[in-house]
Amino acid sequence: MVKLFESIKIKDMELKNRIVMPPMCMYSTDDRGYANDWHYVHYATRAVGGTGLIIVEATAVEKRGRITDSDLGIWDDSHIEGLSKIVNLCKKYGAKVAIQLGHAGRKCEVEAENIIAPSPIAYNRNYKVPKEMSYEDINTVIQAFKEGARRAHLAGFDAIEIHAAHGYLINQFLSPLSNKRTDEYGGSVENRARILKEVIREVRKVWSENKPLIVRVSAEDYVEEGNHPEVLAEILNLVKDEGVDIVNVSSGAVAPARIKVYPGYQVKFAEVIKEKTNLTVIAGGLISEPEMAEEILANNRADLVFLGRELLRNPYWPLQAAKKLGYDIDWPVQYERSKR
């Protein structure tokens, strides 16, 4: 058996293979945040191509939580219809579908928005200085994630992913580089993890216990004073009992840093988190070759693998990977003539 094409069941979500398309912003809406034809074609094509789990791009739970004014939104019930169409199209062609719920915090680039963060520190000199969040702001954001999860459930998603990576709002709380608070939301690891714990707890009130909840983390800040994989494992162990099922392991972007990238550069971080938390783990980082993906899974370094840029380049990578690994899978009947 080729591990890459082995099915896996996590709660009520059964994936036909271990291939994950991670969330990648398309910056293709107008400033109202609605899904459109680009999203329908983009995501459905990856489902036709054989991807097991598709995670829809960072979708803002608040208007001021957008990265840009071209981001998808889930801050209003009117967004449900378009998101539901993405879900239905992808499921029609055999994929399961998750959505990443996000809030940009200090990395919001929308000029018209008043941006917020745990501390009044700009990401760099090209960004605005954010307002330090009050307790009321924190509660508003937590409730926005909860409402986003409710809407995701109504749209029919199989899983949701809480975006706690890449320097966006929750990650800003987790990292000591961006969180300089002296109250119960700052300082110790336990305090910095508090907002993530509270978000998960509130989300679980509206998100079915039978559906998986994913957390995406930046396991390495690439700055000595920042977070490292062992700290992220500690944070995850503090929050996992609130209802975390899967960890999607990425790295970086909470602070400007020089990062040496190469195929699989984040996999070791995923190994550390898998070992120390016993959670189901998605690993990735410039993976492009089927043999590499298979090695990661076969050696139990992770449970699933994500391919981002490779699936942008080649939406039919799963079909071609099976062929390269000598494993027979069903192709879309319309494409069978090209299988051999």
Cα–Cα distance measured from residue 204 to residue 335, given in angstroms and rounded to the nearest whole number? 41
With CA atoms as reference, report the closest residue to 229 among 251, 244, 260: 251
Cα–Cα distance measured from residue 68 to residue 267, given in angstroms and rounded to the nearest whole number? 29
Residue with tokens 């490779």: 310
Would you state the pLDDT for residue 1? 82
With CA atoms as reference, report the closest residue to 2 among 280, 296, 278: 296
Residue 57's CB is within 10 A of a number of other CB atoms, namely 21
Would you state the pLDDT for residue 330? 93
With CA atoms as reference, report the closest residue to 80 among 33, 38, 21, 47: 33
For the chain, how big is the Rg over CA atoms in Å?
A: 19
> Where are any strands of DSSP class E within 128-262?
131-132, 159-164, 213-218, 246-250
pLDDT digit of tens for each residue in the chain (340 aa)? Answer: 899 999 999 999 999 999 999 999 999 999 999 999 999 999 999 999 999 999 999 999 999 999 999 999 999 999 999 999 999 999 999 999 999 999 999 999 999 999 999 999 999 999 999 999 999 999 999 999 999 999 999 999 999 999 999 999 999 999 999 999 999 999 999 999 999 999 999 999 999 999 999 999 999 999 999 999 999 999 999 999 999 999 999 999 999 999 999 999 999 999 999 999 999 999 999 999 999 999 999 999 999 999 999 999 999 999 999 999 999 999 999 999 998 7
Would you state the pLDDT for residue 340? 78
Under a CB-based contact definition with an 8 Å cutoff, are residues 269 and 309 in contact? Answer: no
The region, left, alpha or beta by phi > 0 then psi within -120 to 50, assigned to residue 238 is alpha
Strands 246-250 and 280-284: parallel
Cα–Cα distance measured from residue 80 to residue 291, given in angstroms and rounded to the nearest whole number? 39
Under a CB-based contact definition with an 8 Å cutoff, are residues 252 and 220 in contact? Answer: yes
Domain residues for the domain of 247 are 3-338
Instruction: Indicate the number of domains in the chain.
Output: 1
Question: For residue 320, what are its two tokens?
Answer: 């071609």
Cα–Cα distance measured from residue 245 to residue 83, given in angstroms and rounded to the nearest whole number? 23
Cα–Cα distance measured from residue 20 to residue 4, given in angstroms and rounded to the nearest whole number? 11
* 20 φ, ψ (degrees, to nearest 5): -120, 130
HSE of 121 in the Cβ direction (CA atoms, 13 Å)? Answer: 17
- Which residues make beta-bridge pairs with 98? 55, 159
Q: Model-level pTM? A: 0.97
Residue 76's CB is within 10 A of a number of other CB atoms, namely 13
CATH at 261? 3.20.20.70
- Angle, helices 317-324/290-298, rounded to nearest 10 degrees: 70
Cα–Cα distance measured from residue 183 to residue 135, given in angstroms and rounded to the nearest whole number? 10
User: How far is CA 48 from its chain centroid?
Assistant: 21
